[in-house]
Amino acid sequence: MFHTPLALLALALAASASPVLQVRDNLVRLPMAKRVNLTGSGSLLDHDQLRAQYLRDQANALLDGVPLSILSDVAATNKVVDYVVNVRVGSPATTYSLLVDTGSSNTWVGAGKAYVPTSSSMKTGDRVSVTYGSGSFSGSEFIDAVSFGIDLTIPKQSIGVASSSTGFGGVDGIIGIGPVDLTLNTLSPHSRSTIPTVTDNLFAQGTISQNLVAVSFEPTQQRTNTNGELTFGGIDQSKFTGSITYAPLTTVSPASKFFGINQSIRYGTSTPILSSTAGIVDTGTTLTLISTDALTRYMAATGAVSDARTGLLRLTNAQFANLQSLFFNINGVNFELTPNAQIWPRALNTAIGGDKKSVYLIVNSIGTSTGKGLDFINGMTFLERFYSVYDTTNKRVGFATTLFTNSNSN
């Protein structure tokens, strides 16, 4: 009786251990590593609120057609939580570990590991500089060969090479996969030129048939875990359940400068938190941020209080036991953030300066009231529960549930 199942099990194990098995669907899959590492000054919330302010300032500067000149007066601090991919630059190539950012669009190296010019490097003659919420870089723009994954190459990708940077400890730079217009005003003297992103170039050279990226994040209790995946040009069916719900990119400014959508949020069966408004989806923000008035309603509904040490909201165990789901309505479909999905993974409380036993919430304030045209950011804590698709070709953003949507991993 036991022979057949054991034989099958042995076969299955042999198959899963084999390195030659590849899914042949022409998808470019890049593994992404998540890292939680609070260094330098500032709380997780400070980081994210600076990020939100930077995104608003950046978009408004673009709308006004002027370079972003607002430099944060808060000392640059390293990012607390990020997802990074390995990108190879040059021939022979040097491998760099780059932050994956849908909220910016310059790709650059040199923050950590120095750029190594090779036979494929060509200086464009432009200076490049970008200011982020909690950091900045400046340097020279180069054209170089950029490769990802197994054997995928962009022979001529324009990248920044930092001669100075602040706020990027532990990474080598950024792979900016946001809308290309975010690169306006980052070059000089060619400030009116945009810099095609890696996705734009993969599409232009015919490597991918749609200008699209898709992101799979997963919750984790570890400080580092290669549990994410970025795909170019297509979606990975193995990473989500059901079907993808698409929402058109919002027309509301400044959210429209990013991967912006309209969304409303409800707590439990009937408590409105945020009426339909525009905001963005951003892999470079850790928390899920909502307007100040929406946060007041959320705090009233949950009983949460602000925790001085982490900046996050905190619940008692009794309040957590009563926590209801938070429903994000996107183009008519409700995406349910369960009570467990609303809390910071408790195994990582101490990694963000928190108390081991406390229950902290991943929902917090964006720093401005509703009606500013960028009233929420669905950050990585949201994206760890839903697969997301950034579809430039069809001007839409998609979401789907995953095997982790309802998991109790936190």
Ligand X SMILES: *[C@@H]1O[C@H](CO)[C@@H](O)[C@H](O)[C@H]1NC(C)=O
CB of residue 27 to ligand X, shortest distance in Å: 28
User: Which of 49, 72, 77, 78 touches ligand X (CB under 6 A)?
Assistant: 78
* DSSP symbols for 183-245: GTTSEES-TT-----HHHHHHHTTSSSSSEEEEE----SSSEEEEEEEEESS--GGG-EEEEE
**Which of 48, 57, 82, 101 is flagged as catalytic?**
101
Q: Which is nearer to ligand X, 35 or 314 (CB)?
A: 35
The verdict on 138 binding ligand X (CB under 6 A) reads no
Q: Provide the mask over 7-46, with x wherever binding to ligand X is found by CB under 6 A and - wherever it is not.
A: ----------------------------x-x-x-------
CB of residue 168 to ligand X, shortest distance in Å: 8
CB of residue 98 to ligand X, shortest distance in Å: 15
Closest residue to ligand X, judged by C-beta, is: 169
For the chain, count helices (H), then strands (E): 6, 24
Give the footprint of ligand X on residues 259-278 (CB under 6 A). 262, 278
Q: Provide the mask over 148-187, with x wherever binding to ligand X is found by CB under 6 A and - wherever it is not.
A: ---------------------xx-----------------
CB of residue 365 to ligand X, shortest distance in Å: 20
Q: Give catalytic status of residue 181 as yes or no.
A: no
The verdict on 353 binding ligand X (CB under 6 A) reads no
Q: Which is nearer to ligand X, 117 or 170 (CB)?
A: 170
User: In the chain, how long is the greatest CA-to-CA distance?
Assistant: 76
Of residues 269, 263, 214, the one with CA closest to residue 386: 214
The 10 Å Cβ neighbour count of residue 355 is 14
Q: Give catalytic status of residue 282 as yes or no.
A: yes
The verdict on 288 binding ligand X (CB under 6 A) reads no
Cβ(103)–Cβ(133) under 8 Å? no
**Which of 57, 82, 126, 282 is flagged as catalytic?**
282
CB of residue 264 to ligand X, shortest distance in Å: 10
The verdict on 251 binding ligand X (CB under 6 A) reads yes
The verdict on 252 binding ligand X (CB under 6 A) reads yes
Cβ(244)–Cβ(387) under 8 Å? yes
For residue 156 the two structure tokens come to 């001529």
Cβ(340)–Cβ(408) under 8 Å? yes
User: Which of 155, 248, 272, 371 touches ligand X (CB under 6 A)?
Assistant: 248
Cβ(134)–Cβ(210) under 8 Å? no
DSSP state of 180: G
* DSSP symbols for 59-109: HHHHHHTS------SSPP---SEEEEEEEEETTTTEEEEEEEETT----EE
Q: 300 Cβ partners below 8 Å, 6+ apart?
A: none
DSSP state of 343: B
Cβ(288)–Cβ(378) under 8 Å? yes
For residue 254, whether the previous peptide bond is cis, meaning omega lies within 30 degrees of 0, is: yes
CB of residue 249 to ligand X, shortest distance in Å: 7
Q: Which is nearer to ligand X, 243 or 251 (CB)?
A: 251
Applying CB under 6 A, which residues contact ligand X?
35, 37, 39, 78, 169-170, 248, 250-252, 262, 278
Q: Which residues are catalytic?
A: 101, 282
